[in-house]
Structure 1
Amino acid sequence: MPTSRSPQEHGQITSYVALGDSFTEGLNDPGPDGGFAGWADRLARILAEQRPRTESGHYDLRYANLAVRGRLLDQIAAEQAPQIESMQPDLVSICAGGNDILRPGSDPDDVAERFERAVLQVRPHAGRVLIFTGFDTRDTPVLKHLRGKIATYNAHLRAVADRHDLDVADVWALRSARDRRAWSEDRLHLSPEGHQRVALLAARSLGLPVEDPEAPWPPMTTHSAAEQRRENIQWAREYLLPWVGRRLRGESSGDHVEPKRPDLAPL
């Protein structure tokens, strides 16, 4: 869904808060401080570069990232969304519900209703709100069977955006994300280049003049069907089964993890 706002409005973004789970925390995109960067950090940098520097040399942009890996939608609504009232940022990004949709028996209609309630918590206290559709999993083993649920959830998200005047970064339609190189070895989180593509898409959704997130990938050697099957089996053993096991045990990769940027602070 294209933004209806003019490109000039991005110049008014002087504060940005990111809410979400591992996608927004930036897993598998190593940062310069030894932690993770991710698309939200990259978007903050793009926003900052549109602003003048202060006398101290910082960019004239304050940024907080409250996202924590493994968080479900209700946890994001309870732990992260309430902080927006005191922060009053110009921009909030919310990406939530993906971990809920991936759970067996989840209802995308119910998840979407809870997502809208979370949006209503945030909307009065933010200048603009940016949300994200879910990725198209058609080429991902096992997860491709959830494609219909994700598509249903996405349809709800677009309706929520229409009702509440939200910006939408449509990662479902991001063709460059269908390339294997957009994903890290676990196939559940983006690679550094994948995070960069999403950051560019998010910036474009806000009306910023940026590079094309759909720029062609360099040519890559193709694997035979047998090699692909072996890779899929190895991936399932190393990443998928442990991930499923954690969910069956009620464990989260985010247990005891704190937000990496809990306060609105200059870059």
Structure 2
Amino acid sequence: MRLRIASEVAGAVSYLHSAASIPIYHRDIKSTNILLDDKYRAKVSDFGTSKSIAVDQTHVTTRIQGTMGYLDPEYFQTSQFTEKSDVYSFGVVLIELLTGQKPISLMRSDEERNLVAYFFLSMQENRLFDILDARVLKEGRKEEIAAVAKLAKRCLYLNGKKRPTMKAVAMELEAIRSWSEAATSAIQQDFVPYEVDYAVGDTTGPPDTASSSSGSHWNRIAMHMEIDVQPLLSG
């Protein structure tokens, strides 16, 4: 279900960026702005800080707005919001779905306080599956979970130009979802499908800089956080 939610949200934000008659930056993608109906279909809400832009416009320069924990570090430094800033925020939502944890919590240890930094450290040390929500491990196949985690990592690159577009993110999540459904169907029919190679991009090494400096950068931003942010799925 979480994979479907992620795919639906990505599709909605992709539509805002590239399919709407006037492109729109949401500017506050976070779990509390994702609503689920009675069939758990995801809807993106709260367009109070959204900005419509010209087709040939690449960014908007504005005072910093958004929610700490989801805020693009590049935007935080330059005051220039781009479509890749929404991509970063969506990447945070992805790891929130994977781990069931708040993006920032002062109740956690120093190492775990900032979820993005902790996620990168866990990926680097090859212990991703140690930090995941038990329900994710139970419901998903490890190959699919790893593919989503690698996509989240690319969404969270410090250099916005290296992040995928929301259209690419939506297409990749839909491919993973189709792969998952095909695998589930095959298992239900009592046979094992042939091996499927799935390209998830180059994920070797830290995102843009040494992991220690990246982690400290995220942790410095975390110091500005005053309140905890609730996860999309709790309980």
Length-normalised TM-score, structure 1: 0.32
Higher strand share: 1
Larger Rg: 1
Length-normalised TM-score, structure 2: 0.35
